[in-house]
Chain A
Amino acid sequence: MVERMNVVIVGHVDHGKSTFTGRLLADSGALPDGKLESVQAWCATHSRPFEYAFLLDALKEEQAQGVTIDSARCFFKSSKRHYIIIDAPGHIEFLKNMISGAARAEAAILLISAQEGIKENSKRHGLMLSLLGIKQVAVLINKMDLVGYDQSVFEAIKLEYAQFLQSIGVKPAAWVPISARQGDHLIGPSDAMPWYKGMDVLSVMDAFHKEKPLSHLPVRFPVQDVYKFTQHQDDRRIIAGTMVSGELHQGDEIVVYPSKKKSTIHRIEGFNVPSSTTVGPDRATGFTLNTQLFIKPGDVISRIGEVEPAVGSCFRANVFWLGKQPLRVGRRYKLKTGTCKVPMVVTHVKSVLNSAELTSTDSVNEVARHEVGEIVIETLKPIAVDLVADHPIMSRFVIVDEYDIAGGGLFIAKDDHPHLPPIELEMDVQSAIDPGLRHTRLGHRAGVVLVTGSGGVGHHLEQELFELGLFPMRLEGLSPFALPSVVTVANALLTAGLVVMVVTRPEYVGVIADALSPYDQLVTEDPTAQTIANWLA
């Protein structure tokens, strides 16, 4: 059976993407009978000049405004393979639609108008391709008819854009001067540009190579779901998902991350498939295990002895942001990576890159729409992922703001020292009582003891303090999500004159201490009740 490849067409608005795509479909005979004629007839009755773009811009709004709004999938074939051509919009307003289209592609064709030259979205789209991991890019300099098919115009744009692509690490596969409207160099040579000796666009496309399956990378099987259809008289407990990389075999010893529980593959399951003992990359599959482990959707299965995934709850990452609201430090989002879905906060924005100019700014607290940033993410629970240098797929994530995906990115490093932003009190309190009077009544000063350790520590200490006659209260601030509430409550209790113990992780001590700076503080790993009593006497 012939192979299929998805190719996306990108570039600045009006540089001719839809015209190119329409003309390619028309010239290669991919349009159904009568389609071209019916669009031409439609243009005639509506007294509009015919545009090849109307073959793709099917929505009424698109035709009315002469602009592509959303990516269209078009099916066509060459003598070599089948293609889905994805005609993406070039307008900045529709960058989310360009990304939705481009992310499905294995290769990209970027158009630049010879007449207008390199524009903002010529660069922005180039950058997005590199972030999306699309390595094969061909650049077409279009509308050569409008510059008299002049070679020097082609060379000048090529020189300038090649420098830009180099700066973002993209190596173009080809440069072709074309006229989409006239059909020059789409399929076959062109008399108008005898100086061009390279391939036509269709040959460039046919020369793109299919991405190899990731068999050579460590086994990664993100668990999508666990099924047991007992109500259908089926007792199998099947772990279902799609293999991302590596190979799994019946009898393999597996490890589940992040829990690191182990088991063995009993059998690879399937419906109406020849029974098989091996399953490789990209296959949606399922298997039963020899022991009944507690496995959840979002876990990642690998094999014993393979390179382990990065397990943690704090990562540095590059993101591109599409949300209507900016990406903000401290705001709670949902992270989706592989099959894992987990609440997250951004604890730090390290830098922001303007995605059109590639100028970078430091020390900001947000990533605005259509910008690219380097951020630090903290998840509510540990997750198993890979870093971008180790795995192109397992390092990807998206961020959901309220109901919609609002950004995407790549994990670049684990970060063990989260850079928490200052914590703001959710609510302040005022008291009419003088703190000195409270001191006299309670017999001790107000103070905060920051205890580092895990959940549950300090229960005993709290009792001891109480027995010594103090008024203690213990709070746990072990996740960044809890910190604003914990600090707000602590502040109220301290105003009331109590001894507040906050059990927290070492990396949060600094921000909690800052937020409660008006009060006496003691930071300790293993405090005794007597030291605290003496300190607050």
Chain B
Amino acid sequence: MDQLDRLESQSVAVFREAYREFKQLAMLWSIGKDSTVLLWLARKAFFGHVPFPLVHIDTAYKIPAMIAYRNQMALEWGLQLVVGQNQEALATKQTFPDGATDRISCCKALKTNALNGTLDASWPRWILDHTTQTLIPDPNPTPFTGVIVGARADEEGSRSKERTFSPRGQHHDWDIADQPPEFWNQYKTDFKPGTHVRIHPLLDWTELNIWEYIQRESIPIIDLYFAKPGTSQRYRSLGCYPCTQSVESSAMTVDDIVTELRSGKFSTIAERSGRAQDKEDGGLETLRREGYM
């Protein structure tokens, strides 16, 4: 078994453990490359099926191609899709693009709060109706007790310290200074009522591993990651357009991206360097303690 085989097997085992232990299980789906690999690994784990819903938090500022791609994939693969949104913050224009808040507060409102309200079913949420191909209000929203998230340890400091099964308190808070032990493939699968567990099958994967795996498995991926012919701009990481910069690169295929990460210009530049909210002192750790993914 090579490195990718090992990573795949470990992640599949984590998926199966989550599915066995959490009856109210969901997976976050941000449409980016990590979520795409996550979805593929779910199909590996369950022999072609995805036996739980995917939760997408729509900030309304996602690059529009992402939403189109999301709907197309969900219909094609028969996925259960749950969508959440902070409609109040959007209606009252309490966002960074509206000039009302800083980036961190905007992330907290549009992502963290929307995510928390969607997961514990305290906010309205929508599901994809495969017959009419439209989003309809979720007729019986129930809280999720296990949530699969595609965080990787190599992304930034607080993620480098994550557990595979990471408990969240009643207020979705993460007690980072007192995490329960986990070892020998035995995870925290028991939790107090009212709390939930975030499950991270990709912690040991690097950005390069993600692309190598997409390459090896020929996984379909959204084309925002590729430079269009005749241009030298592409996205390395996808998010909300006001806060995500494209990068200077003419990689047009998965092979190009793998080469660029292995030995090319990006082999020494951090992936999230294009994400503005990380630059604010302690920004991401603060967000993540409150429930950000």
Contact = CB atoms under 8 A, between A and B. Distances in A.
Interface of A: 1-4, 29, 32-35, 56, 58-61, 69-75, 82, 84, 96-97, 99-100, 102-104, 132, 213, 224-225, 227, 229, 232, 234, 236, 238, 240-242, 269-272, 280, 282-284, 286, 297, 322, 334, 336, 396, 398, 400, 402-406, 408
A224 B13 contact: yes
Contacts of A69: 161, 176-177
B5 A283 contact: yes
Given A60-B282, A60-B285, A284-B10, 7 more contacts: A2-B3, A34-B273, A72-B160, A84-B204, A234-B48, A284-B9, A403-B192
B274 to A, nearest CB: 13
B161 A70 contact: yes
Contacts of A82: 3
B160 A322 contact: no
Find the residue from B8, B183, B270 having the highest chain A CB count within 10 A: B183
Contact of A269 (B19, B47, B181): B47
A227 B47 contact: yes
B46 interface: yes
A236 B47 contact: yes
Q: Give 10 closest A-B pairs by Cβ, nearest first.
A: A58-B157, A103-B183, A284-B12, A32-B270, A96-B181, A284-B9, A73-B153, A404-B180, A70-B161, A403-B190
Interface in B1-34: 1-6, 8-10, 12-13, 16-17, 19-20
A104 B183 contact: yes
A190 to B, nearest CB: 26
Nearest to B157: A58
A225 B40 CA distance: 19
A61 B178 CA distance: 11
Contacts of B2: 1, 3
Contacts, number: 164
B44 interface: yes
A65 to B, nearest CB: 10
Contacts of B154: 73, 75
A59 B19 CA distance: 31
Contact of B51 (A102, A229, A271): A229
A404 B161 contact: no
A132 B184 CA distance: 9
B196 interface: no
Interface of B: 1-6, 8-10, 12-13, 16-17, 19-20, 40, 43-49, 51, 78, 153-154, 156-158, 160-161, 163, 176-177, 179-184, 186, 188, 190-192, 203-204, 206, 212, 217, 268-270, 273, 282, 285
A127 to B, nearest CB: 15
B184 to A, nearest CB: 5
Nearest to B207: A75
Contact of A234 (B16, B19, B49, B282): B49
A240 B268 contact: no
B179 A70 contact: yes
Nearest to B15: A284
Chief secondary structure at chain B's binding surface: loop
B30 to A, nearest CB: 22
Contacts of B270: 32-33, 35
Contact of A271 (B44, B156, B163): B44
11 contacts: A72-B160, A97-B181, A100-B179, A100-B181, A225-B20, A242-B12, A271-B44, A272-B43, A282-B6, A282-B9, A404-B180
B158 A59 contact: yes
Nearest to A273: B44
Find the residue from B47, B153, B188, B204 having the highest chain A CB count within 10 A: B47
Given A29-B268, A84-B204, A405-B186, A227 B46 contact: yes
Given A59-B285, A240-B16, A283-B9, A408 B43 contact: no
Contacts of A73: 153-154, 160-161, 203-204
Contact of A99 (B157, B161, B183, B212): B183
A34 B203 CA distance: 24
B256 to A, nearest CB: 18
Nearest to A72: B160
A270 B203 CA distance: 23
B77 to A, nearest CB: 11
A405 B47 contact: no
Contact of B188 (A29, A99, A271, A405): A405
B170 to A, nearest CB: 13
Contacts of B182: 100, 405
A439 B178 CA distance: 61
